[in-house]
């Protein structure tokens, strides 16, 4: 490493406002959540929940209490259906590999979509190298999965289907109920997994109404602590472990349970579901103000993903033509607006987001994309500030681009 | 897609915030482009060269990341007042050094900037239909790399079109 971020950080001094909108990649944990977690590090329940002493039993009681809360919000029938993992990546890995291992003698085909998160796509690629055929269902220009192609892809060989309920990048709320019916009609034995981190606590989603076999949820996506997620495994669905070691309360994941993080996850869930409708309406309003404001103020922009009710309430994803994404994120950061770009310039060729490529965006459109997610804590003032900063930032970066790359 | 930390150093930050010699040059003697918007990395170089083959002025425009902007800008600074023969000797390594170092995943930005410079110099002599002894016949490392990046972008775009038609 050649750099030194001290100067970069110093360049941010004296900002009049800071607005963090990069919830896709990490989140701010509300004080309320942290306060709930802290006692479990050193005051009580710091033991291992499988051991026969007071701090152990306290931990057992605490974990069960937290699991019960999450199970209720998720619509589970039993507490055993909630399997904590160190995050969404691990839960998706467990879902795909665990199901593939348990079903390997029944068939060798896995069906996913082109716009699944990387922790699904890359695991599918890995399973492909180990003998599974992978079918990737295409999506339309707004990111909706093609249900006809899904139906055609499902056959007797299909052992696993993984389709996200809400796309993490462009916010498309997928017709997952229809997809589930199609899959189970054609092959009732196929395990149906839905990565639901962008659905849980954000749209109406529970496994009572949507009878999936597996569902991944994540803590930080609902403003809980990082390092904890869960895989819902419906009672009766056979799964294999993908890691071995000391097994405790989590039958599918070895190792010592992280009681404070589990408590934080449960608390974050409570806060997301308390005044759910109000929270969602608030996010939707800010989301639309942000989208309409950017489109109204800046020329040559494209909204990625659908508009209105079919879009996740928090998601804003916009491509700025003639504007490179990384440069734009730095310029926005220097002005106190923290977002991420859909492309990562870490190789000779900038890697465009596979989601934007799948919905038919050209490379240059994908390279100039910005992803933002609003939360119930954001205010009108935040959005007004962001709408003040973005046009200036885009103008400056476009000024550097000049006539270069104009097609 | 993978991400890596990008702890840009003070010089990169400074050149990103206040790029030197930015913008199109209407009276440029020679203009050269390297890269492609599909790579997310593209530079246009403008050189004003006098009849003694000295670069009087240089400017740039850049569609690219902060490292791309900074390395392009520093190259225009470095070559100002140089004879073309001297400017030809600039390597991507000296550019990376001049900006105080780059994360290794961004070396290609420095390479592209020098590739664009060398293309401009070559174009200048081609137009004069004269090839000085010091101007190597075969493409320099940076020119080759720029070409390779553009070819990769073309292949990628073609592959995408084929997938669309499927």
Q: A91 and A217 in contact (C-beta within 8 Å)?
A: yes
Do residues A317 and A370 touch, judged by C-beta distance below 8 A? Answer: yes
What 3-state class would DSSP assign to A146?
A: coil
Tens digit of each residue's pLDDT (9 = 90 or more) over B79-108: 999 999 999 999 999 999 999 999 888 999
Q: Could you tell me if A253 and A343 lie in one domain?
A: no
Residue contact A363–B106, C-beta within 8 A: no
Binding-face residues of B in 61-80 toward A, CB within 8 A: 61-69
Q: What pLDDT shows up at residue B153? A: 82
The residue in chain A having the minimum alpha-carbon distance to the alpha carbon of residue B150 is: A349
Q: Do B157 and A402 touch (CB under 8 A)?
A: no
C-alpha B11/C-alpha B115 separation (Å) is 21
Q: What is the dihedral of CA A320, A324, A329, A334, to 10 degrees?
A: -110
Q: Give the pLDDT confidence score for residue B37 in this predicted structure.
A: 81
CA-only gyration radius of chain B, Å:
16
Q: Do residue A233 and residue A296 come from a single domain?
A: no
In this complex, the residue of B6, B61, B100 whose CB is nearest that of residue A404 is: B61
**Do residues A311 and A251 share a domain?**
no
User: Do residue A205 and residue A292 come from a single domain?
Assistant: no
For residue A405, is it within any domain?
no
* DSSP code for A4: -
- Chain A touched by B155 (CB under 8 Å): no
* Per-residue confidence band for B3, with pLDDT thresholds at 50, 70 and 90: confident
The predicted pLDDT at position B166 comes to 55
Cβ–Cβ contact B20 with A under 8 A: no
Q: How far apart are CA A27 and CA A14, in angstroms?
A: 23
Please check whether residue B144 touches A, CB under 8 A.
Answer: no
Residue A162 in domain:
yes
Compute and round to an integer the Cα radius of gyration of chain A. 22
- pLDDT tens digits in sequence order for chain A, 407 residues long: 445 788 899 999 999 999 999 999 999 999 999 999 999 999 999 999 999 999 999 999 999 999 999 999 999 999 999 999 999 999 999 999 999 999 999 999 999 999 999 999 999 999 999 999 999 999 999 999 999 999 999 999 999 999 999 999 999 999 999 999 999 999 999 999 999 999 999 999 999 999 999 999 999 999 999 999 999 999 999 999 999 999 999 999 999 999 999 999 999 999 999 999 999 999 999 999 999 999 999 999 999 999 999 999 999 999 999 999 999 999 999 999 999 997 765 556 677 899 999 999 988 888 899 999 999 999 999 999 999 999 999 999 999 999 887 65
**Among B3, B8, B101, whose Cβ lies nearest the Cβ of A346?**
B3
Chain B residues close to A321, C-beta within 8 Å = none
Residue at A27 is within a domain = no
State the distance between the two ends of chain B, measured CA to CA, in whole angstroms: 24
Mean pLDDT of chain B: 92
**Do both A236 and A295 map to the same domain?**
no
Task: Give the structural domain span for A316.
Answer: 5-21+276-400
Q: In what order do the strands lie in the sheet with B41-49?
A: B30-36, B41-49, B55-63
Cβ-proximal residues to A111 (8 Å cutoff; 6+ apart), any chain? A134, A135, A137, A150, A153, A154, A158, A160, A161, A162, A183, A190
Cα end-to-end span (Å), chain A = 36
CB A373 within 8 A of CB A24: yes
Q: Are residues A364 and A289 in the same domain?
A: yes
Q: Does B158 touch chain A (CB under 8 A)?
A: no
| Backbone phi, psi, residue A84, to 5° | -75, 145
Say which CATH number the domain at A145 has.
3.40.640.10
Q: What is the 3-state secondary structure (H, E, C) of A309-327?
A: HHECCCEEEEEECCCCHHH
User: What is the nearest CA distance from A352 to chain B, expressed in angstroms?
Assistant: 8
List, in order, residues 6 or more apart from A390 with CB less than 8 Å away.
A294, A297, A298, A332, A337
Q: State which H helix or E strand residue A372 sits in.
A: strand A369-373
Give the residue from A273, A303, A338 where a domain finishes.
Answer: A273
CB contact under 8 A, B152 and A322: no
pLDDT tens for each residue of B103-138:
888 999 999 999 999 999 999 999 999 999 999 999
What is the share, in percent, of chain B residues with pLDDT greater than 70? 95
Q: What is the ipTM of this complex?
A: 0.94
Predicted pLDDT at A1: 46
* Shortest CA distance from B40: residue in chain A: A350
Is the CB of residue B89 less than 8 Å away from at least one CB of chain A?
no
Distance CA B107, CA B109 (A): 5
CA B15 to chain centre: 15
Long-range Cβ pairs for the range A196-200 (8 Å, 24+):
A196/A164, A196/A165, A196/A166, A197/A88, A197/A168, A197/A221, A197/A229, A198/A164, A198/A165, A198/A166, A198/A167, A198/A168, A198/A171, A198/A312, A198/A315, A199/A165, A199/A166, A199/A173, A199/A312, A200/A73, A200/A74, A200/A269, A200/A272
Could you give the domains of chain B? 10-165 (3.90.1010.10)
> What pLDDT shows up at residue A2?
46
A13 near B CB under 8 A: no
* pLDDT higher than threshold 90 for residue B160: no
Q: State how far the alpha carbon of A102 is from the alpha carbons of A88, A255, B149, in Å.
A: 21, 21, 44
- Residue B159: the pLDDT is 75
Whether residues A61 and A84 fall in one domain: yes
User: For position A270, what pLDDT does the model report?
Assistant: 98
Shared domain check, A247 and A131: yes
- For residue B139, is pLDDT > 50? yes
Torsion over CA of A322, B164, A177 and A185, rounded to 10 degrees?
-170
Query: Which amino acids of A are annotated catalytic?
Result: 345
**Does A407 reside within a domain?**
no
Nearest one of A241, A238, A240 to A254, comparing CA atoms: A241
pLDDT at A5: 87
Q: Return the residue of B nearest to A122 by Cα.
A: B1
Nearest CA distance, A63 vs chain B (angstrom): 34
A246 touches chain B (CB under 8 A): no
CB A171 within 8 A of CB A202: no
How many C-beta neighbours within 10 Å does residue B142 have?
A: 23
Residue of chain A whose Cα is closest to the Cα of B39: A349
pLDDT at A190: 98
- Judge contact between A164 and A113, C-beta under 8 A: yes
Give the total number of structural domains in chain A. Answer: 2
Rounded CA separation A225/A27 (Å): 8
* Residues A320 and A328 sit within 8 Å (Cβ to Cβ): yes
CATH number for A10:
3.90.1150.10
The answer to whether position A388 is within a domain reads: yes
In a domain, A169, yes or no: yes
Q: Which of B23, B68, B157 sits opposite A402 (nearest CB)?
A: B23
Q: Do B62 and A363 touch (CB under 8 A)?
A: no
A245 interface with B at CB cutoff 8 Å: no
| Disruptive mutation site among B31, B63, B92, B145 for chain A (greatest number of A CBs within 10 Å) | B63
- Work out the minimum CA distance from B12 to partner chain A, whole angstroms: 9
Same domain? For A227 and A302 the reply is: no
Q: Does A326 touch chain B (CB under 8 A)?
A: yes
In this prediction, residue A186 carries a pLDDT of 97
Q: Are A386 and A290 in contact (CB under 8 A)?
A: yes
Same domain, A15 and A131: no
CB atoms within 10 A of CB A238: 12
Question: Domain end: A213, A239, A273, which one?
Answer: A273
Say if residue B50's pLDDT is above 70.
yes
How far apart are alpha carbons A113 and A198 in whole angstroms? 16
Instruction: Note whether A400 contacts B61, CB cutoff 8 Å.
Output: yes
- Residue A26: inside a domain, yes or no? no
Of A273, A289, A321, at which residue does a domain stop? A273
Q: Does residue A78 lie in a domain region?
A: yes
* pLDDT one-digit tens code per residue, A192-233: 999 999 999 999 999 999 999 999 999 999 999 999 999 999
Contacting residues for A31 by C-beta, under 8 A, at least 6 apart: none
A395/B contact by beta carbon, under 8 A: no
Instruction: Inspect the interface and report whether the beta carbons of A404 and B19 lie closer than 8 Å.
Output: no
Residues of B within 8 A of A363 (CB-CB) are 37-40, 153, 156-157, 160
Same domain, A348 and A213: no
| Interchain pair A401, B62: CB under 8 A | yes
- What pLDDT was estimated at residue B58? 98
Q: Which of residues 29-58 of B touch A (CB under 8 A)?
A: 33, 36-44
Residues A252, A136 share a domain = yes
Interface mutation vs chain A, best among B40, B44, B158, most A CBs within 10 Å: B40
């Amino acid at each position: 490493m050649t750099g030194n971020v001290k100067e970069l950080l110093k360049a941010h001094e004296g900002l009049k406002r800071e607005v963090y909108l990069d919830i896709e990649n990490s989140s701010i944990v509300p004080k309320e959540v942290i306060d709930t977690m802290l006692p479990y590090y050193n005051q009580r329940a710091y033991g291992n929940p499988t051991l026969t002493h007071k701090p152990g039993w306290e931990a057992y009681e605490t974990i069960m209490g937290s699991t019960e809360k999450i199970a209720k919000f998720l619509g589970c029938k039993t507490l055993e259906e909630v399997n904590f993992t160190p995050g969404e990546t691990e839960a998706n890995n467990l879902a795909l590999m665990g199901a593939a291992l348990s079903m390997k003698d029944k068939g060798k085909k896995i069906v996913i979509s082109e716009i699944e998160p990387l922790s699904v796509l890359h695991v599918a690629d890995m399973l492909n190298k180990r003998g599974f055929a992978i079918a990737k269902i295409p999506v339309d220009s707004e990111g909706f999965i093609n249900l006809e192609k899904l139906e055609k892809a499902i056959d007797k060989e299909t052992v696993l289907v993984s389709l996200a309920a809400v796309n993490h990048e462009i916010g498309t709320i997928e017709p997952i109920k229809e997809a589930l019916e199609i899959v189970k009609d054609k092959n009732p034995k196929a395990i149906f997994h839905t990565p639901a981190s962008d659905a849980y606590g954000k749209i109406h989603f529970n496994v009572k109404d949507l009878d999936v076999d597996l569902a991944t949820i994540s803590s930080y996506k609902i403003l809980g602590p990082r390092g904890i997620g869960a895989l819902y495994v419906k009672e009766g669905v056979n799964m294999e472990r993908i890691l071995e070691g000391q097994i405790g309360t989590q039958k599918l994941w070895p190792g010592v349970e992280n009681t404070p993080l589990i408590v934080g996850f449960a608390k974050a869930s409570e806060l997301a579901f308390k005044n759910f409708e109000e929270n969602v309406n608030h996010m939707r309003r800010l989301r639309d103000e942000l989208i309409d404001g950017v489109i109204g103020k800046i020329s040559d922009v494209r909204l990625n993903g659908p508009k209105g009710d079919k879009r996740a309430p928090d998601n804003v994803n916009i491509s700025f033509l003639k504007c490179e994404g990384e440069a734009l994120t730095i310029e926005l950061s220097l002005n106190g607006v923290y977002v991420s770009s859909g492309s990562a310039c870490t190789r000779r060729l900038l890697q465009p987001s596979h989601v934007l490529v799948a919905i038919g965006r050209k490379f240059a459109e994908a390279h100039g994309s910005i992803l933002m997610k609003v939360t119930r804590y954001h205010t009108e003032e935040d959005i007004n500030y962001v709408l003040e900063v973005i046009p200036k930032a885009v103008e400056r970066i476009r000024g550097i681009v000049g006539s270069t790359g104009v097609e | 897609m993978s991400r890596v930390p990008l702890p840009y150093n003070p010089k990169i930050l400074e050149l990103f915030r206040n790029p030197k010699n930015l913008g199109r040059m209407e009276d440029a003697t020679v203009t050269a482009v390297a890269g492609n918007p599909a790579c997310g990395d593209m530079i246009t170089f403008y050189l004003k060269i006098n009849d003694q083959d000295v670069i009087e002025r240089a400017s740039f425009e850049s569609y690219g990341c902060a490292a791309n902007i900074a390395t392009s800008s520093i190259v225009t600074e470095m070559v100002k007042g140089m004879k073309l023969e001297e400017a030809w000797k600039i390597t991507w390594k000296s550019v990376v050094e001049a900006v105080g170092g780059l994360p290794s995943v961004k070396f290609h930005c420095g390479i592209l900037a020098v590739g664009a410079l060398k293309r401009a110099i070559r174009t200048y002599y081609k137009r004069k239909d004269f090839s000085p002894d010091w101007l190597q016949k075969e493409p320099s490392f940076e020119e080759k790399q720029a070409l390779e990046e553009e070819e990769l972008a073309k292949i990628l775009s073609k592959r995408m079109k084929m997938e669309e038609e499927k």
